[in-house]
């Protein structure tokens, strides 16, 4: 359902909407700042190895824009939700996730360098259904390529089911996880995701506006902050599992999901939405 949702959100927007460079720059700067800070905090504060640090940082910097952020925005800012989703997916899937893969591959195989690493990362990114859906959506948006009605209806039908599917996906991810193993490190990752990332997004947009590098509408800014305040992306434990980091990632995801009800409620109150 998520690839259909992304294609529908991107292809249904005009090119001017998905090329909002002020939003893209602001969200990208915030995401990369938190990713970098999270990595070094994990290395220095919790004395973890490079691979564990990579996924601690990923848990802080990658929001669940599709399965939590989008349904939430459809309730509080429905007119801006598809645009915010499309812009977030561009940042996360074209920059942040490939960077995470590079860090993870380098940490898990220090001898893998140069062309071998680039080929591996490009293969994983180029075969990702989410990335393919986003690229296809951008092509349709730019070229205004007409899509047959039957295809549009089918895609929209699947996309509309994403809010319901997300509950099953998140529930399935959390099954069997125990909170007994929760420690300072996990709470650090959770705080980084639920508090630090939305704060970084707010500061990033404010800084760009201050130096005259661009500004976004208040509604779009609020949408970005709300997206950033969601738990880590659903793909987070899946990516971590490939590198033997699934227990930490899944436990952090559980705690984030439980606490996000309170943190997001507080954020909506602060934003007066």
Q: What's the structural domain count of the chain?
A: 1
Spatial distance between the Cα atoms of 132 and 2, rounded to a whole number of angstroms: 12
Confidence of residue 118 (pLDDT cuts 50, 70, 90): confident
Spatial distance between the Cα atoms of 108 and 246, rounded to a whole number of angstroms: 14
Host domain of residue 264: 2-270
> What are the φ and ψ backbone dihedral angles of 272, each rounded to 5 degrees?
60, 50
pLDDT digits (tens, 9 = 90+) for 200-251: 999 999 999 999 888 899 999 999 999 999 999 887 887 888 888 888 888 8
CA atoms 29, 32, 36, 42: torsion sign:
positive
Cβ(55)–Cβ(248) under 8 Å?
Answer: yes
**pTM exceeds 0.85 for this model:** no
> What are the φ and ψ backbone dihedral angles of 63, each rounded to 5 degrees?
-85, 160
Determine the distance from the C-alpha atom of residue 76 to the mean position of all C-alpha atoms in its chain, rounded to a whole number. Answer: 19
pLDDT on residue 2: 63
pLDDT at 175 over 70: no
Q: What integer is the mean pLDDT of 82-99?
A: 87
245's CB contacts (< 8 A; 6+ apart) are 51, 52, 55
Spatial distance between the Cα atoms of 194 and 244, rounded to a whole number of angstroms: 24
CATH number at residue 261: 1.20.1530.20
């Amino acid at each position: 359902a998520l690839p259909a949702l992304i294609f529908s959100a991107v292809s249904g927007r005009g090119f001017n909407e998905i090329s909002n460079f002020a939003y893209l720059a602001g969200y990208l700067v915030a995401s990369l700042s938190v990713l970098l800070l999270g990595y070094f905090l994990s290395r220095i504060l919790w004395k973890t190895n490079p691979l564990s640090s990579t996924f601690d940082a990923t848990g802080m910097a990658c929001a669940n824009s599709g399965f939590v952020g989008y349904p939430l925005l459809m309730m509080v800012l429905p007119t801006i939700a598809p645009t915010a989703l499309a812009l977030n997916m561009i940042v996360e899937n074209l920059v942040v996730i490939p960077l995470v893969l590079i860090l993870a591959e380098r940490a898990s195989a220090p001898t893998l360098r140069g062309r071998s690493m680039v080929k591996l990362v490009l293969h994983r990114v180029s075969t990702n259904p989410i990335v393919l859906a986003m690229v296809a959506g951008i092509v349709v948006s730019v070229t205004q390529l007409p899509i047959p009605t039957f295809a549009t209806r089918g895609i929209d039908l699947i996309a509309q089911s994403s809010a319901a599917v997300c509950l099953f996906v998140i529930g399935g991810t959390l099954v069997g996880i125990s909170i007994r193993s929760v420690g300072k490190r996990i709470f650090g990752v959770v705080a980084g995701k639920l508090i630090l990332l939305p704060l970084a997004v707010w500061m990033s947009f404010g800084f760009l506006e201050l130096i005259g590098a661009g500004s976004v509408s208040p509604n779009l800014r609020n949408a970005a902050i709300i997206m950033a305040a969601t738990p880590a992306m659903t793909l987070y434990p899946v990516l971590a599992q490939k590198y033997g980091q699934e227990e930490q990632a899944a436990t952090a995801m559980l705690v984030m999901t439980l606490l996000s009800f309170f943190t997001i409620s507080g954020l909506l109150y602060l934003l007066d939405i």
